[in-house]
Amino acid sequence: RYISTFRPSVKCEVAKNKAQWKTMGPAKVAVPSPKNFLQKHSKEPKLPARKKEQDSKKLPALSVPRRTDHPVVGIQSKKNFINTNAVAAITGLPKKPQPIYVDRRQGDKYLLETSGLVPKYIKKKDYGVTPKYVTRRIEEMKRAQEEYEAGILEHLKKRAMKQLSDEERRSLLQGLKKNWEEVYREFQGLSVEIDTIPKKIYKEKLESQMKQLEHDIEVIEKHKVIYIANE
């Protein structure tokens, strides 16, 4: 069989270095001294020492008395507090109790003023008066409407259009309603059974006419101002 030529040299190298692998790491390790143990706050950064302020400024006056201060003794007042309090109690106005209400016989007490049962708002001087901002807004809306109508009139004059008066609008609306009644009367006069093509066509024609008349009536009733082109 095959034998490597490097076999004897490998055996020698293994025999030389075998003793170094008997322990983990180097054989001789310096053992730490028990005096060099980790102390508290030893790893925290140390700040430099605080320098004493050498300013010659005076300290601010304290608002509290010092320890060496003594209270003033010996001052007496000639005021008779008993008489003054009695006179103030006799001549003073009695305190009015706050009005309250109870929700039921054995219920809790509540203030009457904040309950909403006292009509204090309707007794105000400006109650029912229109606020100034509302009147100002109404005037602004009227002014804007007038400007808009003036602009439309100028635009319509250029296009040769005129505005329908109230009487013309009313008569037009009555005419449309009268036409709808006539068409509806004809629709009611149709036979119950519609089995021919001409009957179906006539029924569809009446329905379309009624829909168109209803649409026109709704438009005229909705818009009070109507413009038409001059013929």
Q: How far apart are CA 228 and CA 172, in angstroms?
A: 12
pLDDT confidence of residue 118: 84
Global pTM value: 0.33
Percent of all residues in the chain with a pLDDT value above 90, rounded to a whole number: 19
Return the structure tokens found at 76: 């007496």
- DSSP assignment, residue 131? P
If pLDDT is split at 50, 70 and 90, which confidence band does 7 have? very high
Do residues 151 and 191 make contact, with C-beta atoms less than 8 angstroms apart? no
Query: Residue type at 199?
Result: K
If pLDDT is split at 50, 70 and 90, which confidence band does 57 have? low
As a whole number, the mean pLDDT across the chain is 83
If pLDDT is split at 50, 70 and 90, which confidence band does 54 have? low
Nearest Cα to 227, choosing from 178, 219, 141? 219
Residue showing tokens 């109870």? 102
Choice between 144 and 66, residue whose per-residue pLDDT is larger = 144
Mean per-residue pLDDT, 197-212: 90
Mean per-residue pLDDT, 105-122: 84
- DSSP assignment, residue 121? S
Instruction: Reply yes or no on whether the pLDDT at 159 is more than 70.
Output: no
Return the structure tokens found at 99: 């009005």
Mean per-residue pLDDT, 56-71: 75
Instruction: Reply yes or no on whether the pLDDT at 194 is more than 90.
Output: no
Q: How far apart are CA 191 and CA 169, in angstroms?
A: 36
Query: What Å distances lie between residue 196 and 154, 185, 200, CA to CA?
Result: 55, 21, 7
pLDDT confidence of residue 24: 62
What is the maximum alpha-carbon separation in the chain? 136
If pLDDT is split at 50, 70 and 90, which confidence band does 137 have? very high
Residue 176's CB is within 10 A of a number of other CB atoms, namely 19
C-alpha distance across the termini of the chain, in Å = 127
Do residues 227 and 161 make contact, with C-beta atoms less than 8 angstroms apart? yes
Residue 213's CB is within 10 A of a number of other CB atoms, namely 19
Percent of all residues in the chain with a pLDDT value above 70, rounded to a whole number: 87
Instruction: Reply yes or no on whether the pLDDT at 36 is more than 90.
Output: no
